[in-house]
Amino acid sequence: MISDIIADQLTVVRNAIMAKKKEAIIKKSGLLVEIVKIMKREGFIEDYQMIEDKKQGKIKIYLKWQEDGRPVLTGLKKISKIGRREYITADEVKSVMGGVGLAIISTSKGLLTDKEAKEKGVGGEVICQVW
């Protein structure tokens, strides 16, 4: 059986939010580090920290909560799957939830948000959506 590490780790974060935890610890990979950096830069999470161990390492994500107790990050959805990759051209890049959320796209210029991909005029593989 083939495992999708990105989908699995997004589920860990989603479950931490549903359990109202302050942090989530996920496995570390190059792609996940870039996804977490984008989530921090765009204000969906408070912060993150790399945890080194004798294996691949982990990422501790500090979740962001509003004053009324609601999470800032309300949804994560894996778009490209192992069996079915989703690619878009620069013309097909659309905003997520009217601009409230964002799509993370793997492009020839690196991992970009939907807004950045549209500005640079590039398309690529849609990894996930965050809102």
pLDDT tens, position by position, 42-55 = 999 999 999 999 89
In this predicted structure, what is the pLDDT of residue 119?
Answer: 96
What is the pTM assigned to this prediction?
0.94
Task: Provide the 8-state DSSP code for 84.
Answer: S
Q: Model confidence over 20-50: pLDDT tens digits?
A: 999 999 999 999 999 999 999 999 999 999 9
In this predicted structure, what is the pLDDT of residue 2?
Answer: 77
What dotted CATH number matches 5-130?
3.30.1490.10
**Region 43-68 average pLDDT:** 96
* Per-residue pLDDT at 1 exceeds 90: no
Domain positions in the chain: 5-130
Indicate the helix (H) or strand (E) that contains 38. helix 30-41
In this predicted structure, what is the pLDDT of residue 86?
Answer: 97
Contact (CB, 8 A) for 9 and 28: no
